[in-house]
Amino acid sequence: MPELDLPQRQATDALMLTGFWYRALPADQVHRHRLHKAMLLEMPLVLGRDRLGQPFAMRDACPHRGMPLNSGKFDGEQLECPYHGWTFDVHNGQCQKIPSLTSDQTLKVDRIYAGSYPCEEQDGFIWVFIPDPSPQGAGFAKPAEAPDAAPQVEKITGKYKTAYLTANMPVSIDHGIIGLMDPAHGPFVHQAWWWRTRHSIHEKKKNFEPIPNGFRMSAHTPSSNSAPYKLLRLYADADSITTTIDFTLPNIRSESIRAGKYWFSSLTTVTPITRSHCRIDVVACWNIFRWLPLGPELLKFVFSKFVEQDRRTMEMQAEGLKHNPHLMLIDDADRPAKWYFQLKAAHLEAKRTGQPMKHPMSGPVTLKWRS
């Protein structure tokens, strides 16, 4: 059936997907011999590093009586709850000691676990794998294993620079993500005399294709008013520049720009903190301005302006969203947002039925919009 030319009504559900890796904190904020609080998917976590600097992540609640563990004592290997002194191995959550037990009491201490999560340091962030919830009433068991490693920024050559930016958004994960993939807000939100005016708006045509768990904006020459393109054009022949942008569930936008021997990659995530808050983290790696002292600062300046403009916009949008309006998604500019909701639904359906996920796109599609 052909799609009708009517806007689609869409309700967001703020549902947060489990079974994926999420960025918890910038790695340079997590120190040895200190405990740090973090929140992911409405779950309080305590993060730290052991004696060797290896990061760990535990549920910030003692399995005994729920005391937050972040105020406990940590010796570099074990964490002692401040209430009754139960002690846990920080890497697997296994209980090591219950001080109140007498010598003739036979409670099997090592069968008790505090919640603990697979944890990895990758490209300047501490990533935590949030598994699917265990069956009700089971209590904490051994930590789940992550099926794969945490995502990485693509690096083409050995020598590169890297930088990150992070911004809190007072909106749910869905609004954060569709804001990230929205092509039509550029001329209105990202105006600046040194960048572009709304008069630079023009028609664009981009090819998209399905990829596992997501979709790709196929390799193309970036539009003349996109940020990295303007910078790259200073260094490379305009026609040699190509960019590929992928979105994959649950929350990842990765961009790869190539210009001859120069490259720029970024991996942006929108992380659900609570039902009504998310955080955008952008990590970029590039080999392009390595020898130019001002390069990274310039890049960071441009990107932080962009992210701040998006943050302010979403802060205003959050006011309107308090009254829970339905969204009205139009073709073609909002088609990526529709795919996002369809991917999320297909993923949940596949989990429910145990069947392979039915991808909402049957093949390549060309979208047109003005921006």
Please give the structure tokens belonging to residue 166: 């992070």
Nearer to ligand FES, 81 or 259 (CB): 81
How far is residue 309's CA from residue 300's CA, in Å, rounded to a whole number? 14
Task: State yes or no: residue 246 binds Fe ion (CB under 5 A).
Answer: no
In this chain, which of 15, 67, 156, 330 binds ligand FES, going by CB under 6 A?
A: 67
Q: Which of Fe ion, ligand FES, none is residue 230 near (CB under 5 to 8 Å by kind)?
A: none
Are 142 and 113 in contact, with CB atoms under 8 Å apart? Answer: yes
The number of residues that bind Fe ion (CB under 5 A) is 1
The number of residues that bind ligand FES (CB under 6 A) is 8
The site string for Fe ion over 278-317 (x = CB under 5 A, - otherwise) reads --------------------------------x-------
Please give the structure tokens belonging to residue 9: 């009504």
Are 47 and 38 in contact, with CB atoms under 8 Å apart? Answer: yes
3-state secondary structure 175-192: HHHHHHCCCCCHHHHCCE
Task: State yes or no: residue 245 binds ligand FES (CB under 6 A).
Answer: no
Q: Which of Fe ion, ligand FES, none is residue 64 near (CB under 5 to 8 Å by kind)?
A: ligand FES
Task: State yes or no: residue 109 binds ligand FES (CB under 6 A).
Answer: no
**Smallest distance, ligand FES to C-beta of residue 84, A:** 3
**Smallest distance, ligand FES to C-beta of residue 82, A:** 7
Task: State yes or no: residue 44 binds ligand FES (CB under 6 A).
Answer: no
The single residue listed with the structure tokens 């010796």 is 75
**Smallest distance, Fe ion to C-beta of residue 273, A:** 20
Are 142 and 259 in contact, with CB atoms under 8 Å apart? Answer: no
Q: Which of ligand FES, Fe ion, none is residue 201 near (CB under 5 to 8 Å by kind)?
A: none
Task: State yes or no: residue 65 binds ligand FES (CB under 6 A).
Answer: yes
Task: State yes or no: residue 130 binds ligand FES (CB under 6 A).
Answer: no
Nearer to Fe ion, 310 or 334 (CB): 310
**Smallest distance, Fe ion to C-beta of residue 283, A:** 17
Task: State yes or no: residue 241 binds ligand FES (CB under 6 A).
Answer: no
Are 68 and 60 in contact, with CB atoms under 8 Å apart? Answer: yes
Buried-exposed string 228-246: b where 16+ CB fall within 10 A, e elsewhere: bbebbeeebeeeebebbbb
Question: What single-letter amino acid sits at 11?
Answer: A
Q: Which of 40, 265, 278 is nearest to 161 (CA)?
A: 265
Give, in order, the Cα–Cα distances in Å from 189 to each of 178, 206, 225, 344: 15, 21, 13, 27
Please give the structure tokens belonging to residue 284: 């970029």
Summarize as ranges the residues that interact with ligand FES (CB under 6 A): 62, 64-65, 67, 81, 83-84, 86
